[in-house]
A and B are shown apart, each in its own frame.
Chain A
């Protein structure tokens, strides 16, 4: 029960997908650095549980995300193991190319805690149909009713009628013929359709976001995604894990969600006698500094192996390396750069080392020692060491970094005087009584400023750094902070990509904002300021209760004042079953963020002055 409780406490919220979970670590077991002596293994086909849902957030860097389950409406977290893949438009795709809100089927394996969180692969509706050579023949267009009447069939399998299918369309639905967007009036009966969906729930079949018309268009759509993925992969190197090392040889099995395609794309590059560079990587497929770490290698054998599990490319090679590096170890992940491929660092923020750039201002993206080097921690952390007990607080002694168990929850009530309070745990709704550690060990951060418990508005979702009490329950808090603080500390903002009414919401004022997570510009190798690629994407909700600030702190704005391109910092409520998190406050624009930071700084100065006076009086 205890482990179940901990598991429940560890879950993520929509707007905090960067938050590490014990689930992700637990799920790493087959390839974890903590047990390198065990041979890595791909989960067998059909060992998974398949849950459909809409993609809500995705962290490109750490390969974690969330979807809202179609049947229950609950938010579900997933972690992608190194071999995990995404399928979109019938091609393996980069996480960056997956549109949020899209309906996918998620193939989930169990983690070591028993949760179904390890995402082996995910497929959109298009892929599910195309991979079985199904298409939808357009029978009739009823735009006035928002419907397309079709017949599901398979030309190649000569299955002419697999049932009638009514596709729902909206004014926002896009139609593609070849590379061109066309108008719905150009649809003709007999067109072969494939589509992606959104808004699907247990009671709603969902509407089409995009419809691709004609087999040539289908081939083109797939080809475009495939080419993007190929470029993406070549830039970072082909990932695989080490089956064994011997002398100066490393045997690697590569990852792919489409073994047949992989053979076509990379079979020649991975043939015996070919050369390249091998680079060390972590379980999130991030590399440190390939430009320097790269190790020249030659392929001394290349074999086809049965693709008996998710993520297995069916290609295993043995490479002779010039230097045997620590990361070339059984169970660890490596990336292979084919001969002639530029062996460059990943983008700033994605690379674990950030070599050649300015200091990384996003601590959450830095190399995480508890995750990478669990042996360096004599206690359990949120990232590993499940076999060890949690760190136990000692009177008057500050706990070390990574000793805390981080739990997200919405403030229910607080008593500043007694430094106690209650929060409602995200997702489960369980109410937890907490107490803040004594003054020098327990602190509050609100709007990125030192604060007191009383400053935290009830109803705000916070991040609790918790330690066990005498009964082993996580009730002792060393730090409580709001989402604003997390974003500000990590120099992150949410850039608005689109704003739309929230589908299937009972609240007519609710809008869903599609945001990309951006980090600040940094100086690149040439000393020029450069905006790194986005590090993730998510959907956030705003409604009539949300306080929106834009341009000034003197008077609030409204959601209508928000525009595409605005950079947001937010606070929000907790996320519960059938009660998704909603922003409590939104601050838009870098100038406003600066003004707010300044105001908070002054407030802090004022507070410290008062403290000093109080101390003097005493």
Chain B
């Protein structure tokens, strides 16, 4: 009953937040100066309109209800900006001016289109700025939600699971942009269910969970009918389970979890690595909920098994568990891997059935990467204390409180204390009243004190102040953050989670905004293990790494490509960022470096010998490795390719957007695909095809800026392998040699990607500015506007004095006015 009662209360509070936010936007839109005249309108755009548009869309005629001679920029007006977008698309595609009118020069069109796209972006960013709102709300991403409930209640909630939260949409890779993250009614249901699950686990309102071990032994898993016979043979303890490569459709076992919680998953096993080949790779996978619990290479001799383990969060229920050897291998059909009814259980590699896949050579040395399982254990739920720490903290008077002391005042105090941490700010007088109502109601209906209070806690977890980062005050408007707001912004920037007690205390003291205090806090927070969240999350979003594998490479063209390689590519880039951050290296390192982070899988892919294990490690590079910096990393090269070939244009756009910070205009509609040579014609490179494409004057202006930045990395194929010749399917003759040379729009030429990188390094100030903008977008959860440019420049200039060391840049940014501005 109390839960039902609270549901109304909780959801009401959420919807209040939404409506408040909406009201804020509307209010600011009306008060914003409309129709200001940006640079370029009068000298670039209007002359173009005058010459090509106004005769039909001017004072005398307004075809399609559009008038271009008086059209102004109004960032707050979707209708006006919609007109501008339409104009850009029409002139870009050649629809306008119509065929019977003189054609504008392509360069002219490009100039106007570029100007319009800048205005559109600016408008978009301006609409994300909250300063004009009295109160702004920035929803936590699901990753931040998970981290917050972990730090608040000690529960590892699986937000990606089926009972988790919806995936967050992104804006140019960033998954935390305020207006982009919305809360639909379906989301509210999810949040309510999530909060219920979190509190059930966090509070000790149920019988103490009994920690137990579910142990799967070989006879439980595969050889059920043979147990007695093997016991009689006296070799039951030698029986194991071999798992062949690529066994995605076999080897599934049911797991029943009775109590939700954290479990230690332990697998004792051997992993046979063929000489010169890859180690087998264990993947423990919950197929029904598409969740990987554990995945790692296993390199352990047949007679010396090891135990690998992982702490996993499991929700009560029944699951089919697959033990997969996820390394690629010849397993064309389950027939070659299944087992016969003959009592021949696996004890050694010599006990294979003749019609099964061969795992060892004639001398019984491994030829296939094979896993041999001894046991699987599910040990849990792991409960550090009972009652839980979260329970003890919530019901702070302890377990022995007399019944009469469990009164409304105690309930109020419990909720207030909890809310202060959950909301990351002091609770205002009277603010708890409505959260106490479901508590009282539940008690009236006969629920116990703790259970009733739980309803109040649930409402707090579903309230706007927990789910949103609130900035501003309806009564005391301010352009700067309060110290409480600053603590949250900083914490969600570097930890993707709520502030810790120390940071909240600094806010409480009112000194947090002081540069020295802030700088000390930044250093402390970067040194904290929770900063791993920033090291992981920021590069993924800045570099748009979620696009890696979005178009999986064709299995026929790229049979080497597998899930492990994909993960290793991302691990390199993320690990590279983490290493730069930890060592406080210069931002230049991102452009070029003589080291990178590799594991065995990726090193093999790059052709770099001597690297073992699946954890990425720092590896020195030689020039002949053709690697260094972000631009030659597999993840970057592959996310800018498609499933069949490299895409120089995509690569160029990516460089402009992520490295140079100047994204080009979107392509016009109806761009024809690159042509393939007719039968009998000689093979040509993608570059040569692009050059034909660029011969179209409508394409030249943009592609001159884009293509060289992509073509420079033509020496890397769609999955990032180095090459000097492009493999071409269509056409005749030998595969053509690659030519990665090119020139920047300012005329500086380069012979290849390595030289381009040097040009980019020589423009470090531009990269630093672009990087700072990305950092600010991530931290402030909005796009940057013209009005932010000067401050961004100051921050990056300030970092120049420290040779653009990354931690120094972060400090400069956090202590800048921009960071504290609403």
Chain A residues at the B interface, C-beta cutoff of 8 Å: 36-37, 244-245, 280-282, 288-289, 292-293, 323-330, 332, 353, 366-367, 369, 372-373, 375-379, 397-401, 403
Q: Which residue of B lies closest to A245 (CB)?
A: B362
Asked if B249 is at the interface of the complex by the 8 Å CB criterion, the answer is no
Q: Which residue of B lies closest to A333 (CB)?
A: B354
Contact yes or no, A400 B354, CB < 8 A: no
Asked if B361 is at the interface of the complex by the 8 Å CB criterion, the answer is yes
| Chain A positions within 8 Å of B229 at CB level | 400-401
CA distance A289 to B340 in the complex (A): 12
| Chain A positions within 8 Å of B343 at CB level | 369, 376, 401
| Chain A positions within 8 Å of B332 at CB level | 323
Contact yes or no, B362 A37, CB < 8 A: yes
- Name the distance in Å between B518's Cβ and chain A's nearest Cβ: 64
| Chain B positions within 8 Å of A369 at CB level | 342-344
Q: Which residue of B lies closest to A288 (CB)?
A: B355
| Chain A positions within 8 Å of B348 at CB level | 375
| Given A325-B358, A329-B362, A376-B344, 5 additional A-B pairs, CB 8 A | A323-B330, A327-B355, A329-B358, A401-B229, A401-B343
Q: Which 5 A/B pairs are nearest by Cβ-Cβ distance? A: A327-B354, A400-B232, A280-B354, A330-B362, A326-B352
Asked if B475 is at the interface of the complex by the 8 Å CB criterion, the answer is no
Q: Which of B332, B351, B354 has the most chain A CB within a 10 Å cutoff?
A: B354
CA distance A372 to B341 in the complex (A): 13
Instruction: Indicate whether A245 sits within 8 Å of B361 (C-beta atoms), given known contacts A376-B233, A376-B351.
Output: yes
| Chain A positions within 8 Å of B355 at CB level | 280, 288-289, 293, 325-327
B350 interface neighbour in A289, A366, A375, A377, Cβ under 8 Å: A375
| Chain B positions within 8 Å of A245 at CB level | 358, 361-362
Chosen A-B contacts, 22 in total, with CB atoms closer than 8 Å, are A36-B362, A37-B362, A37-B363, A280-B354, A292-B335, A293-B355, A323-B330, A324-B358, A325-B356, A326-B354, A328-B358, A330-B362, A369-B342, A369-B344, A372-B344, A373-B344, A376-B343, A376-B345, A376-B347, A378-B233, A378-B235, A401-B343
- Name the distance in Å between A408's Cβ and chain B's nearest Cβ: 25
- Name the distance in Å between B233's Cβ and chain A's nearest Cβ: 5
Interface residues of B in 351-404 (CB under 8 A from A): 351-359, 361-364, 367
Instruction: Indicate whether A244 sits within 8 Å of B362 (C-beta atoms), given known contacts A326-B354, A327-B354.
Output: yes
Asked if B336 is at the interface of the complex by the 8 Å CB criterion, the answer is yes
Contact yes or no, B232 A288, CB < 8 A: no
CA distance A376 to B343 in the complex (A): 9
CA distance A36 to B360 in the complex (A): 12
Asked if B431 is at the interface of the complex by the 8 Å CB criterion, the answer is no
Q: Which residue of A lies closest to B347 (CB)?
A: A376
Asked if B43 is at the interface of the complex by the 8 Å CB criterion, the answer is no
Asked if B99 is at the interface of the complex by the 8 Å CB criterion, the answer is no
Contact yes or no, B356 A367, CB < 8 A: no
| Chain A positions within 8 Å of B347 at CB level | 375-376
The tally of residues in B whose CB lies under 8 Å from a CB in A reads 31
| Chain B positions within 8 Å of A376 at CB level | 233, 235, 343-345, 347, 351
Contact yes or no, A367 B342, CB < 8 A: yes
Asked if B42 is at the interface of the complex by the 8 Å CB criterion, the answer is no
Q: Which of A37, A244, A400 has the most chain B CB within a 10 Å cutoff?
A: A400
- Name the distance in Å between B655's Cβ and chain A's nearest Cβ: 43
- Name the distance in Å between B370's Cβ and chain A's nearest Cβ: 12
Instruction: Indicate whether A373 sits within 8 Å of B356 (C-beta atoms), given known contacts A323-B330, A367-B342.
Output: no
| Chain A positions within 8 Å of B344 at CB level | 369, 372-373, 376
Contact yes or no, B367 A282, CB < 8 A: no
Contact yes or no, A372 B350, CB < 8 A: no
CA distance A373 to B235 in the complex (A): 14
| Chain A positions within 8 Å of B364 at CB level | 37
Q: Which residue of A lies closest to B355 (CB)?
A: A293
Q: How many A-B residue pairs have CB under 8 A?
A: 87
Q: Which of B232, B352, B356 has the most chain A CB within a 10 Å cutoff?
A: B232
| Chain B positions within 8 Å of A327 at CB level | 354-355
| Chain B positions within 8 Å of A401 at CB level | 229, 232, 343
A367 interface neighbour in B335, B340, B350, B367, Cβ under 8 Å: B340
CA distance A36 to B351 in the complex (A): 12
CA distance A403 to B359 in the complex (A): 29
| Chain A positions within 8 Å of B101 at CB level | none
Asked if B514 is at the interface of the complex by the 8 Å CB criterion, the answer is no
| Chain A positions within 8 Å of B233 at CB level | 376-379, 400, 403
- Name the distance in Å between A225's Cβ and chain B's nearest Cβ: 31
CA distance A551 to B348 in the complex (A): 54
CA distance A309 to B672 in the complex (A): 72
CA distance A500 to B336 in the complex (A): 51
- Name the distance in Å between A20's Cβ and chain B's nearest Cβ: 16
| Chain A positions within 8 Å of B351 at CB level | 373, 375-376
Contact yes or no, A326 B359, CB < 8 A: yes
Q: Which residue of B lies closest to A353 (CB)?
A: B340
Contact yes or no, B354 A332, CB < 8 A: yes
CA distance A59 to B353 in the complex (A): 25
Asked if B234 is at the interface of the complex by the 8 Å CB criterion, the answer is yes
B336 interface neighbour in A282, A323, A379, A403, Cβ under 8 Å: A323
| Chain B positions within 8 Å of A332 at CB level | 354
| Chain B positions within 8 Å of A323 at CB level | 330, 332, 336, 357
CA distance A329 to B367 in the complex (A): 13
Q: Which of A37, A289, A369 has the most chain B CB within a 10 Å cutoff?
A: A369
| Chain A positions within 8 Å of B232 at CB level | 397-401, 403
- Name the distance in Å between B229's Cβ and chain A's nearest Cβ: 6
Q: Which residue of A lies closest to B349 (CB)?
A: A326
CA distance A476 to B151 in the complex (A): 71
Interface residues of B in 320-338 (CB under 8 A from A): 330, 332, 335-336
Instruction: Indicate whether A325 sits within 8 Å of B350 (C-beta atoms), given known contacts A288-B355, A377-B233.
Output: no
CA distance A573 to B283 in the complex (A): 62
| Chain A positions within 8 Å of B362 at CB level | 36-37, 244-245, 329-330
CA distance A324 to B330 in the complex (A): 9
Q: Which residue of A lies closest to B367 (CB)?
A: A324
- Name the distance in Å between A86's Cβ and chain B's nearest Cβ: 25
| Chain A positions within 8 Å of B356 at CB level | 325-326
Q: Which residue of B lies closest to A378 (CB)?
A: B235
CA distance A403 to B356 in the complex (A): 27
CA distance A401 to B344 in the complex (A): 13
CA distance A400 to B235 in the complex (A): 11
Q: Which of A329, A353, A378, A379 has the most chain B CB within a 10 Å cutoff?
A: A329
Q: Which residue of B lies closest to A321 (CB)?
A: B358
- Name the distance in Å between A426's Cβ and chain B's nearest Cβ: 28
- Name the distance in Å between B474's Cβ and chain A's nearest Cβ: 72
CA distance A328 to B356 in the complex (A): 10
| Chain B positions within 8 Å of A403 at CB level | 232-233
Interface residues of B in 710-767 (CB under 8 A from A): none
Q: Mark B302-336, 1 if CB is under 8 A from A, else 0.
A: 00000000000000000000000000001010011
| Chain A positions within 8 Å of B361 at CB level | 245
| Chain B positions within 8 Å of A281 at CB level | 354
| Chain B positions within 8 Å of A293 at CB level | 355
CA distance A244 to B363 in the complex (A): 10
- Name the distance in Å between B31's Cβ and chain A's nearest Cβ: 73
CA distance A617 to B350 in the complex (A): 55
- Name the distance in Å between B458's Cβ and chain A's nearest Cβ: 57
CA distance A379 to B235 in the complex (A): 11
Contact yes or no, A325 B345, CB < 8 A: no
CA distance A577 to B252 in the complex (A): 59
Q: Which residue of B lies closest to A325 (CB)?
A: B358
Contact yes or no, B354 A288, CB < 8 A: yes
Q: Which residue of A lies closest to B353 (CB)?
A: A326
CA distance A377 to B345 in the complex (A): 11
- Name the distance in Å between A319's Cβ and chain B's nearest Cβ: 14
- Name the distance in Å between A358's Cβ and chain B's nearest Cβ: 14
CA distance A377 to B234 in the complex (A): 9
Contact yes or no, A324 B357, CB < 8 A: yes
| Chain B positions within 8 Å of A366 at CB level | 342
| Chain B positions within 8 Å of A379 at CB level | 233
CA distance A377 to B344 in the complex (A): 10
Q: Which residue of A lies closest to B348 (CB)?
A: A375
